[in-house]
Structure 1
Amino acid sequence: MASPADDPNVNRRALLATVGLVVPTLLVATACSREGDDKDEKEGGEEQEVAANEDLMREHGVLRRILIVYREAAPLVASSAKVDAAALNRAATLFRTFGEQYHEKLLEEGHVFPAVRKAGGDAARYPDLLVAQHERGRQLTDYIIDQTKGGSIATGQAEGLAKAMTGFSRMYEAHAAREDTIVFPSFKKALGKQYKELGEQFEEIERKQFGGDGFDMALDKVTNIEGALGLADLARFTAAPPPATA
């Protein structure tokens, strides 16, 4: 009588059983590897998804850099010191196209504020005031563009221009801070599962408006404006040490 080790049928069954275990394991491992590769490619590529609030807040970052330009330039304008008026004009024009016509009109007034109003609660009292501030900002932008056109500041308008830039910056610093900490979180909560889809929609709006990545385009422009005005070096904004104490 042959032992199980010598029985070819037994050996064949054992081999098939082993293959049956190994093949599914290899398939699972391959699928996991491909999934990981796809994830890495997505995370490392240019098409990585940006959430709606992340999109809104990084755009605020560009606009805040324009506010810094205004705040730093205003005292120079008021004192009739030499200032690159053409750079100030480009800053105001960028706030118009990227901030007012796109970020405010298409995203905030078109999507964010209606959702917050509908959701109710404490945040719902802000949209009307924020829209009013948008309107005032547009009036000030008109004025700044007009007073800096042609690369020079209109005669006798230096003090008025300085006040306009200072007031604009003061208003929008408080404005954007409320949006970032109250309105945008309420917007995300109000949308629920639709929030992710709206992030993709915001990206589509941006590309349609600018013919590409509007954020990158605006970032390049504000960086060039900072360079023209001597504001590119972050180190220049480092605060002085506190006064010595007795």
Structure 2
Amino acid sequence: MIEITFLGSGGGRFITITQFRSTGGFHIRASRNIHVDPGPGALVRSWRYKLDPRKLDAIFVSHRHVDHCNDVEVLIEAMTGGALKKHGTLIASKSVVYGDETHTPAVSRYHLNVLESVHIPEPGSRIPLGGEEMLITPSQHSDPTTIGFRLKTSVGDISYIPDTAYFDDLREWHDGARLLIAAITRPRDMGIPYHLSTDDAVEMLKGMERKPEALIMSHIGMKMHFANPYKEARYIENVTGVKTYVAKEGFRIIMEKNEIAVRTLRPARFV
């Protein structure tokens, strides 16, 4: 069984600064615990949903934009017991580790030095994570080093498409995944460069020979938020036949051999 818990479903600068939708990324519990794209709020919301960040084994960061990497250092500190023991794996784009022309690195040398391993992979790289294997996939984003993944598990493949423009090879990389999590930032007829829209999602799914059992829409931007993402999800599902969900804080997917189930968690109460 694989559990995926969303600690936010928002993305883009305006959703991030208003927190109309939280931006903590998502947590995968498989043979290893993995936090994906820990944007602002990832640490706080991990505790809110009883996902102890001290039990993390790996962190994946797709690129250097703040809505994807803001909390990466504090999660590394949690994963390494307060930076007192070498533990855990960081899988991140080149921009996250080294920065680029407009960004400093998102991870200090201090934090890199307390990790057991650091991977800065190119598309096509394969990284073992316990009983799973992560295949790194390409994106076409304003940060040209952006990467996604396809996690190969005993109950089927889980694909993650972060911020990207639509391109034909994207479909090929993710064709046949059982579960597809995609950053679909814009609604119909409102596409922008370097990001997927509802129209792009439909084109991609229609072109797949082996469609996913379910699509999870995440990284909801401000225009999508106010256009009603649930309406966009119904449109995608009606046109493509793929069951489509909109992620939100506390949204959990339970993926078993014969079923993909979903539920929404209540936040933990602290006194």
Please give the TM-score of this superposition, normalised by the length of structure 1: 0.24
Q: Which structure has the greater CA radius of gyration? A: 1
Greater fraction strand: 2
Q: Specify which structure has the bigger relative contact order, considering alpha-carbon pairs within 8 angstroms and separated by 6 or more residues.
A: 1
Between Structure 1 and Structure 2, which shows a larger proportion of helix residues? 1
TM-score, length-scaled by structure 2: 0.23
